[in-house]
Amino acid sequence: MDLDTAVTLIMGEFNNVRTEIQVFKTEVSTRFDVIETDIQVMKTDIQAIKEDNHYARKELYEINRRLDTIEEQVGHVRGYAKEIDDLRSRVKVLEHTLLSRA
């Protein structure tokens, strides 16, 4: 094999390697784009969950406040105190669930 043939073969192999590197770079770039998109979707989902959690906490606070008002007005009437206590227990379970997920 003469020198020109050897150089041509070597250059051909370098071109093959260069092409494979370009393909690899494109694949990696595409994968990173997919990962970046997934991360953005997760961030959006997390923000929505935080907003829902905030809303739920506000609602539970309002329920507790209204239970306080009801208890002041009718808590002494037989049967109502037990119902109010049962509702407070259920609210506490929901608050605990929200806090454990925060």
pLDDT of residue 12: 94
pTM of the predicted protein model? 0.59
Q: How confident is the model at residue 53 (pLDDT cuts 50, 70, 90)?
A: confident
Is 90 exceeded by the pLDDT of residue 74?
no
- Residues near 75 by beta carbon (within 8 Å), at least 6 away in sequence: 81, 84
Report the C-alpha gap between 61 and 63 in whole angstroms. 5
64 and 88 Cβ atoms separated by less than 8 Å? yes
Specify the amino acid at residue 54. Answer: H
For tokens 């002494």, the residue is 76
